[in-house]
Amino acid sequence: MEQKKTISETKKYVRQILENDGSGHDWWHIFRVRNLALKIASMEGGDLFLIEMAALLHDIDDWKISGGTNTGNAKRWLQEVNVSPATATKIIEIIDQVSFKGAGVDTTPTIPEAKIVQDADRLDAIGAIGIARTFAYGGNKGRLIFNPEIKPEKHDDFDQYKKSTGPTINHFYEKLLLLKDRLNTKTAKSMALKRHQFMELFLDKFFGEWYENEETQNRFLS
C-alpha cells in the first residue's frame, strides 16, 4: 500500500512539472514510457517499484529540459516521499543509465531494471510518436527542419552530443535510426521493428518530396 501511495504522489508531482513542456518531454511522454516499461517488465521481470518510479522520474533532471541548470530534483523528491536511502539510490542509478549520450558512446545499462526503462524510453523516441517528438524538440530549440549542406555527425562523447545544433532530420541518423540495434530486451526489440520501419518510410517520403532524384539524396547521406 505504501508503494502505491508513493507512485500515486510521484505521478502528480511529475505531471505538475512537465505537463506544459513543449519539447516532447511532457507528462504524456512520461506516461507512455511508464506504461511501456511495465509492459516490458511483465515479460522480462524486474522490480516493478524501481522500474515504475525510475520511469516516472527519468526526465525530471534531464539536461534537454533544464539546460543543465536543475539537478537533484529526483533525489529530493525521493527523500520527500520517504523512500528508503537504499531504494532511492537504486532508482537514481537506473535513471542515470537511461539517456542516449551520442552515437559513439556505449550506454548499455548494468542494472536489469535500467535496461527495461532505457528500452521504454527509446521505444517512445522512434515510430510515429518518435517522429512527432523529434520535430517538437527541434522546433522548441529553434532548429531547422533540414539543410542538405549540414551532414549528420557521429558524436564520440556526451559533451559533443549535448552541443549539437544540427537540423532535425540529422537527428534521425545521429540517434533515432540507431536505437533499434541498441535495445536490451527481447520484448523491446520485437516492439521496435515496426516503429523503425515507419521512420524509414517517413524519411523515404521526406527525401522524395525534397529532392527530384535519388542520386542527390545519396550525396546527403554519404
The rounded Cα 146 to chain-centroid distance in angstroms is 21
At 64, is the pLDDT very low, low, confident or very high (cuts 50, 70, 90)? confident
Residue 116 reports pLDDT greater than 80: yes
Average pLDDT in the 27-44 region?
Answer: 98
- Range(s) of the domain holding residue 26: 2-221
Model confidence, pTM: 0.93
Q: How far apart are CA 215 and CA 218, in angstroms?
A: 5
CB-neighbour burial class of residue 81 (10 A; exposed 0-12, middle 13-18, buried 19+): middle
Can you give the CATH number for the domain in which 87 is found?
1.10.3210.50
- Domains held by the chain: number: 1
Q: How far apart are CA 58 and CA 44, in angstroms?
A: 20
pLDDT of residue 67: 60
pLDDT of residue 65: 74
pLDDT of residue 159: 85
How wide is the angle at C-alpha 111 spanned by C-alphas 17 and 113, nearest 5°? 55
At 122, is the pLDDT very low, low, confident or very high (cuts 50, 70, 90)? very high
User: Which of 45-54, 90-99, 213-222 bottoms out in mean pLDDT, i.e. has the lowest?
Assistant: 213-222
Residue 113 reports pLDDT greater than 80: yes
CB-based contacts of 103, cutoff 8 Å, min separation 6? 154, 155, 156, 161, 174, 175, 178
**Mean pLDDT score of the chain:** 92
State percent of the chain over pLDDT 70.
92
Residue 174 reports pLDDT greater than 80: yes
